[in-house]
């Protein structure tokens, strides 16, 4: 950061001046003069502890004991900078010529504390008037322009504390090897660090004009950052405060491991969203912290994207605007193991939706195809909005299953994970859709459907068992494989085969993971039927009854047999419901038998029923009367 380079510049210049002016003074006196000058130019107290020693041969320089530079007056967290020791060696011939050429600089175990107050103040703002960016008084010449053959830092620690958010970041094991032989010349560097709780990160590269960078100008920069899991390269121009323009390239063989090295631990990306990633783009970062990526080529596992992205990094939560396109986007890994159901049921693996809170933004995505949650679609146009941990997906166009889909889907992780949507399908081929969705391949035919749903939970299993909502479906001619409902409902013959129907329609409601239907109408060539029952979307089971209309069985002697379907989706049992068949076909016979039985019972018991009175009530009344008579007879004896 710019203030760090300024302080280094101050130290270099003042030590050079001190060595010229007090070359014959004791080391402690030399160090104190330098400390006084640093205090004058930074406005911060400088404390030197321990012995300071000057050396004249073989290297002209000075070494100090422990060093501390005071923090801002509002801070209560200790010094801004402290180090166990500081060693500086200078070129005496360059000093005679009026330049400070440092041939060696070493800081041992430096600790830097950066703070941001709740009101926005920062402790690295020096605020001293009359000090030029290089550390020299305003308007002065560059006669004391410094250079640095080699600087070494070992065992460094950097802490950043944001008192407004309570966030604290710590970077340990900071090491730096900087070579800067000419003041307005190129500098090379090799640095490494280890963010707390993360892996090691190393950076190497060159800066075309380090002095220009320190003084707030833009200069050429080539950098390579390496960590476990990948590398990032930048070739372009950069300046301070943070601004850059150039070509960036990333090659991450393990994105999670690389992010962990940056201090972002615990990221487990699904297959298809970047477990491995490659990217190239023209990058621009402005001083206002606006990042843009143009001519972007991005590969996330098997998926390739192209387009442009803009990010506002100055916002409280980064705001992203993107316009992307891709070929066939394969997100089949999103559901996890068992996500699409089957004999083992829905997956109970936890869904990590925390990424929804990492940014806000809007994006458009054009796809040649989409594979997700076991489903496959053709040309697709999506609009995505993310706002405060809630994402909404608009299906602007989506071709699939010989038809088209439209509507919206929402994923909300503000107070626990929930998913919902309002979807419409037209002309969709049901056999392939139901097979991909739930492993059901019995139905064929095209359908128009709509569904409005909501589910909540931390896994696919929990969401499917919590589903609520409503919808409907309408189909023209189609078939149901594995059962001949016409034969079963008219003759009671469970012969397998195929049901051919001319029309099917139904509406439904959903509650607690169950779908309920009461108005299914199924029209077959010879017979028609209604249906009602329950489909367990969470439990993956079914309990359903098809009831034929009696009038449609006249050609077969007037007998119709309801069909019961019950059991798991993977293998439901289908059989004629004889109890329902008796109720449906022998209602007159049952009534005649009941009337005959009641007449005989009346004769036996001597009971007469009054108008509106049932035989049961009449028998009960007679028994009560007889019991009262018996009690009176006992009392009168």
Residues 75 and 144 in one domain: yes
**How remote is the C-alpha of 73 from its chain's centroid?**
41
**Given this model, what pLDDT does residue 204 score?**
96
Residues 534 and 631 in one domain: no
Q: Which of 183, 206, 239 is the last residue of a domain?
A: 183
- Count CA atoms closer than 13 A to 535's CA, side-chain side: 19
Q: What is the pLDDT of residues 146-193, one digit of tens each?
A: 566 788 888 999 999 998 888 888 889 999 998 988 878 899 999 999
**Given this model, what pLDDT does residue 597 score?**
56
**Given this model, what pLDDT does residue 212 score?**
87
Residues 549 and 628 in one domain: no
Residues 496 and 626 in one domain: no
Residue 38 located in a structural domain:
yes
Give φ, ψ of 68 to 5 degrees: -135, 135
Residue 550 located in a structural domain:
yes
Q: Which of 139, 168, 183 is the last residue of a domain?
A: 183
**Given this model, what pLDDT does residue 536 score?**
95
Residues 580 and 479 in one domain: yes
Residues 66 and 176 in one domain: yes
Q: Mind spelling out the 3-state secondary structure of 259-323?
A: HHHCCCCCCCCCCCCCCCEEEEEEEEECCCCEEEEEEEEEEECCEEEEEEEEEECCCCCCEEEEE
The residue whose two tokens read 């097979």 is 435
Residues 567 and 609 in one domain: no
- List average pLDDT for each run of 10 residues in the chain, which is 637 residues long: 53 50 51 62 76 69 81 89 82 66 78 90 65 39 54 89 87 90 88 84 93 87 94 94 93 90 76 91 94 96 95 91 94 57 75 87 94 86 94 91 92 94 91 78 86 94 95 88 63 65 92 95 81 93 82 49 84 74 58 59 59 59 50 47
Domain range enclosing 16: 1-183
3-state secondary structure of 500: strand
Residue 369 located in a structural domain:
no
Residues 543 and 616 in one domain: no
Which alpha helices (DSSP H) does 146-298 contain, by range?
Answer: 210-214, 255-261
Residue 283 located in a structural domain:
no
3-state helix vs strand vs coil in the chain, percent to 5: 20, 45, 30
Instruction: Confirm if 516 and 510 have CB atoms less than 8 A apart.
Output: yes
Cis peptide before 58 (omega within 30 of 0): yes
Residue 527 located in a structural domain:
yes
Q: What is the pLDDT of residues 297-338, one digit of tens each?
A: 999 999 999 999 999 998 888 999 999 999 999 987 765 444
pTM of the model: 0.68
Which alpha helices (DSSP H) does 523-577 contain, by range?
Answer: none
Domain count for the chain: 3
Residues 104 and 162 in one domain: yes
Q: Sort 490 into a burial class: Cβ within 10 Å, 0-12 / 13-18 / 19+.
A: buried
Residue 105 located in a structural domain:
yes
Residues 39 and 177 in one domain: yes
Give the closest residue to 34 by CA, choosing from 48, 16, 10, 14.
14
What does each C-alpha distance from 1 to 8, 180, 241, 243, 262 come to in angstroms? Answer: 11, 17, 7, 11, 18
- Count CA atoms closer than 13 A to 443's CA, side-chain side: 23
The residue whose two tokens read 């806000």 is 360
**Given this model, what pLDDT does residue 596 score?**
61
Residues 568 and 607 in one domain: no
3-state secondary structure of 37: helix
Q: Which of 183, 202, 231 is the last residue of a domain?
A: 183
Residues 12 and 157 in one domain: yes
Residue 205 located in a structural domain:
no
Residue 58 located in a structural domain:
yes
Instruction: Confirm if 607 and 615 have CB atoms less than 8 A apart.
Output: yes
């Amino acid at each position: 950061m710019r203030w760090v380079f300024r302080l280094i510049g101050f130290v270099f210049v003042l030590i050079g001046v001190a060595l010229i002016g007090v070359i014959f003074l004791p080391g402690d006196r030399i160090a104190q003069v330098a400390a006084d000058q640093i205090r004058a130019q930074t406005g911060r107290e400088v404390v030197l502890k321990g012995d300071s020693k000057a050396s004249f041969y073989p290297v002209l320089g000075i070494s100090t004991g422990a060093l501390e530079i005071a923090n801002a007056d509002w801070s209560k967290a200790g010094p801004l900078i402290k180090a166990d020791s500081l060693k500086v060696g200078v070129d005496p011939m360059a000093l005679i010529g009026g330049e400070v050429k440092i041939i060696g600089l070493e800081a041992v175990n430096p600790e830097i504390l950066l703070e941001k107050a709740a009101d926005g103040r920062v402790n690295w703002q020096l605020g001293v008037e009359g000090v030029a960016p290089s550390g020299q008084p305003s308007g002065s010449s560059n006669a004391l322009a410094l250079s640095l053959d080699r600087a070494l830092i070992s065992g460094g620690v950097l802490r950043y504390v944001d008192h407004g958010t309570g966030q604290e970041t710590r970077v340990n094991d900071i090491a730096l090897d900087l070579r800067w032989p000419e003041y307005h010349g190129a500098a090379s560097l090799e640095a490494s660090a280890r963010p707390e709780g993360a892996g090691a990160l190393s950076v190497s590269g060159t800066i075309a004009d380090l002095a220009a960078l320190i003084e707030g100008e833009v200069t050429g920069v080539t950098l390579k950052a390496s960590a476990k899991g990948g590398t990032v390269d930048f070739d372009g121009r950069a300046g301070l405060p943070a601004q850059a323009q150039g070509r960036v390239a990333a090659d991450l063989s393990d994105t999670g491991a690389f992010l962990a090295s940056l201090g972002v631990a615990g990221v487990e990306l699904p297959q298809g969203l970047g477990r491995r990633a490659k990217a190239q783009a023209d990058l621009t970062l402005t001083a206002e912290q606006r990042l843009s990526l143009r001519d972007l080529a991005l590969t996330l596992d098997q998926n390739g994207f192209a387009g442009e992205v803009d990010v506002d990094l100055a916002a409280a939560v980064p705001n992203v605007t993107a316009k992307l396109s891709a070929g066939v986007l394969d997100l089949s890994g999103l559901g996890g193991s068992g996500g699409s159901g089957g004999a083992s049921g829905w997956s109970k693996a936890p869904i990590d939706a925390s990424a929804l809170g990492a940014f806000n933004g809007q994006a458009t995505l054009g796809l040649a195809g989409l594979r997700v949650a076991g489903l496959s679609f053709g040309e697709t146009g999506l609009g995505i909005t993310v706002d405060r941990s809630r994402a909404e997906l608009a299906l602007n166009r989506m071709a699939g299953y010989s038809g088209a889909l439209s509507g919206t889907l929402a994923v909300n992780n503000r107070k626990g994970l929930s998913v919902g949507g309002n979807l419409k399908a037209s002309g969709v081929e049901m056999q392939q859709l139901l097979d991909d969705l739930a492993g059901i391949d019995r139905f064929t035919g095209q359908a128009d459907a709509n569904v409005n749903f909501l589910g909540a939970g931390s896994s696919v299993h929990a969401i499917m068992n919590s589903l609520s909502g409503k919808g409907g479906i309408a189909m023209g001619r189609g078939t149901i494989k594995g059962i001949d409902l016409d034969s079963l409902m008219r003759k009671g013959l469970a012969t397998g085969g195929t049901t051919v129907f001319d029309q099917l329609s139904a509406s439904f409601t959903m509650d607690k993971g169950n779908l309920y239907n009461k108005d299914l109408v199924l029209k077959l060539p010879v017979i028609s039927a209604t249906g009602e029952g329950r489909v367990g979307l969470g439990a993956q089971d079914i309990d359903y009854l098809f009831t034929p209309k009696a009038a449609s069985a006249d050609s077969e002697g007037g007998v119709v047999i309801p069909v019961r379907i019950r059991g798991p989706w993977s293998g439901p049992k289908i059989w004629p419901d004889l109890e329902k068949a008796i109720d449906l076909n022998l209602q007159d016979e049952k009534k005649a038998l009941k009337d005959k039985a009641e007449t005989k019972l009346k004769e036996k018991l001597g009971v007469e029923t009054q108008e509106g009175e049932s035989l049961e009530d009449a028998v009960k009344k007679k028994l009560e009367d007889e019991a009262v008579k018996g009690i009176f007879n006992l009392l009168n004896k």
